[in-house]
Amino acid sequence: MNKNLEEIYGTMGISEKVLRLSQEVEQTLKKRFEKIDKITEYNQMKVLSAMQKNKLSEAHFAPTTGYGYNDIGRETLEKVYADIFHTKAALVRPQITCGTHALYLALSAVLRPGDELISPVGKPYDTMEEIIGIRKSTGSLAEYGVSYKQVELLEDGSFDYDGIRDAISDKTKMMTIQRSKGYLTRPTFSVKQIGELITFIKEINSDIICMVDNCYGEFVDIIEPSDVGADMVVGSLIKNPGGGLAPIGGYICGTEECVDKAYYRLTAPGLGSEVGATLGVNKDFFQGLFQAPQVVNGALKGAIFAANLYEGLGYECTPDATEDRHDIIQAITFHDPDKVVAFCEGIQYAAPVDSYVTPTPWAMPGYDCDVIMAAGAFISGASIELSADAPMHEPYTVYFQGGLSYDHARFGIMKSLARMEEKGLVDLQK
């Protein structure tokens, strides 16, 4: 590393010990990174091909207002998403406020009073609990007469196929399959594993709708859950597929029937897909999608770098330093609230926006405990940008993700370790 670069790292709070350790770790990762680059190359060509096939032009960037009738940009964007995910239809809208909203939209579009929803992958993400009605909340599916079961994973993190078979009843209408781990330390599921689970479910009852929460997983592999039998694949545009440019929004890709129901649930009976002004965001949606494979590439490399650095210091990482990756999230368990706070402070201090702000735990809506979040992002709450968060309870695990480039993701991790060093919470002499 040249002297000028060392000097700028020094001015940005990275000690010589942290810098040298980081360089040593990075030198071991070249082969891993080459493999990620090949996946990125495939996905970049897949996105480009879909845009060319649908004759994307500057005219598709024009804004619409009011009802949004005849929004050719919106219609083309949804065709592009359907081609990328190899589905019959897609819904991609700025009216979807976040990933949680997209998931609620998908569930409530399909489920009716008396239907049963099952999670075959154990506990869902915290914000899903109020949607389902596990925790009481106004407007939950439980209020509308939808019942719920969950089948816990086996001790090794694999699916309990016998338990799933026993749980399915005549009322079972839908399965919700969360790809990423959420605030758990279970493994993230590969697309192949999800495909095997969907095949098993469909063999029992082919009419059961299988929805996959794809948040944090897009473009990590060359295939998506829709390639292995998912009826609905759902995600947020301020995560992977927005590429750091989408200012809001979510997507649902899937069968024509399922997506059509989601259109009517999003707008109103009788209106469906015909309305929904895009207000000038189409260009950001298209451009963000175009650069998404490269952004995911940097986030993945950052997660692998984080696991190798922190595992080398003796901390438990999920996935571990050598495992294949199926999403961009890296969990690091500290068993110490002070280390969690210091880690998140370092991530915040590495941000391009609000780097001078110190994050603190707070009672965030949708969670049942205090949560600390670090995210100095250009798009508020965009977890494809450098970010970290943690529920403030045992085992005090922090969840790191994002970085619009590998350089920034790596710096964020270096800064997190530097902050722990500064506070006397880690000894780098060992």
pLDDT, greater one: 183 or 309: 309
Structure tokens at 44: 């970049």
Is 144:113 a contact under the CB 8 Å cutoff? yes
Q: Which of 259, 280, 301 is the last residue of a domain?
A: 280
The verdict on 14 and 77 lying in the same domain is no
Share above pLDDT 70 across residues of the chain, in percent, rounded to a whole number: 99
The verdict on 163 and 182 lying in the same domain is yes
Residue 2 pLDDT: 65
Confidence check: pLDDT of 408 > 80? yes
Q: Is the residue at 403 inside a domain?
A: yes
CA atoms within 13 A of residue 157's CA, in its CB half-sphere: 13
The verdict on 159 and 104 lying in the same domain is yes
Q: What are the angstrom distances between the C-alpha of 71 and each of 93, 105, 419? A: 12, 22, 48
What's the rounded mean pLDDT across residues 392-415?
97
Q: Is the residue at 368 inside a domain?
A: yes
Q: Which long-range contacts (CB under 8 A, 24 or more apart) does 76-82 make?
A: 77/282, 77/285, 77/286, 77/289, 78/273, 79/54, 80/50, 80/51, 80/54, 80/56, 80/286, 80/289, 81/50, 81/251, 81/253, 81/289, 82/253
The verdict on 268 and 320 lying in the same domain is no
Q: Is the residue at 51 inside a domain?
A: no
Tell me the angle at which helices 72-84 and 30-53 cross, rounded to the nearest 10 degrees: 130
Confidence check: pLDDT of 3 > 90? no
Q: Is the residue at 48 inside a domain?
A: no
The verdict on 273 and 299 lying in the same domain is no
Q: Is the residue at 50 inside a domain?
A: no
What's the rounded mean pLDDT across residues 372-400?
95
Rounded distance between C-alpha atoms, residue 200 and residue 208, angstroms: 11
The verdict on 273 and 294 lying in the same domain is no
Q: Is the residue at 233 inside a domain?
A: yes
CATH number at residue 190: 3.40.640.10
CATH number at residue 301: 3.90.1150.60
Supply the DSSP string of 243-260, one letter for each residue.
TTT--S-EEEEE-HHHHH
Residue 429 pLDDT: 75
Q: Is the residue at 380 inside a domain?
A: yes
Confidence check: pLDDT of 253 > 80? yes
The verdict on 185 and 70 lying in the same domain is yes
Residue 328 lies in domain: 3-43+290-422
Average pLDDT score, the chain? 96
pLDDT single digits (tens) 33-45: 999 999 999 999 9
Residue 40 pLDDT: 98
Residue 341 pLDDT: 97
Pick the closest to residue 232 from 204, 251, 219, 205 (CA basis): 251
Q: Look at 33-37, 276-280, 359-363 and tell me which has the smallest mean pLDDT.
A: 359-363
The verdict on 261 and 300 lying in the same domain is no
Pick the closest to residue 220 from 203, 241, 205 (CA basis): 241
Residue 4 pLDDT: 87
Total domains present in the chain: 2
Residue 1 pLDDT: 55
pLDDT single digits (tens) 47-67: 999 999 999 999 999 999 999
The verdict on 98 and 236 lying in the same domain is yes
Q: Which of 280, 307, 330 is the last residue of a domain?
A: 280
Confidence check: pLDDT of 174 > 80? yes
Confidence check: pLDDT of 147 > 80? yes
Q: Where are the extended beta strands (E) located within 171-286?
A: 172-178, 209-213, 232-236, 250-254
Cross-strand partners of 93: 250
pLDDT single digits (tens) 74-127: 999 999 999 999 999 999 999 999 999 999 999 999 999 999 999 999 999 988
The verdict on 18 and 119 lying in the same domain is no
| Reported confidence tier of residue 170, pLDDT bands at 50, 70, 90 | very high
Residue 255 pLDDT: 98
The verdict on 276 and 298 lying in the same domain is no
The verdict on 80 and 226 lying in the same domain is yes
Q: Is the residue at 52 inside a domain?
A: no
Q: Which of 248, 280, 312 is the last residue of a domain?
A: 280
Strands 316-318 and 330-333: antiparallel
